């Protein structure tokens, strides 16, 4: 059986936490920030945890993480 390949785009965008969950960045936080409110930009600053409904797909893309 050959080794499974890790998806390169996915490994750059997600990090595994100590408990095995995946951390991600928020969308809409990189450009056109002038029209977004201070409150919205503040909420987008921190990371977020990937939802359980998406974990199955990400486990296939990151088999060795």
Q: Please state the domain count of the chain.
A: 1
Q: Is residue 3 part of a domain?
A: no
Quick one: pLDDT band at residue 59, thresholds 50, 70, 90? very high
Specify the 3-state DSSP secondary structure of 30: coil
Q: Is residue 1 part of a domain?
A: no
Dist. CA 50–CA 48, nearest whole Å:
7
- pLDDT in the model for residue 65: 78
pLDDT tens, position by position, 1-58: 899 999 999 999 999 999 999 999 999 999 999 999 999 999 999 999 999 999 999 9
- pLDDT in the model for residue 1: 85
pTM, 2 dp: 0.79
* β partners of residue 25: none
């Amino acid at each position: 059986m050959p080794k499974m390949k890790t998806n390169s785009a996915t490994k750059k965008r997600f990090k595994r936490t100590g408990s095995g969950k995946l951390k991600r960045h928020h969308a809409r936080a990189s450009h056109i920030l002038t029209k977004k409110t201070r409150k919205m930009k503040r909420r987008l600053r921190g990371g977020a945890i990937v939802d359980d409904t998406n974990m199955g797909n990400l486990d296939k893309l990151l088999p060795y993480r």
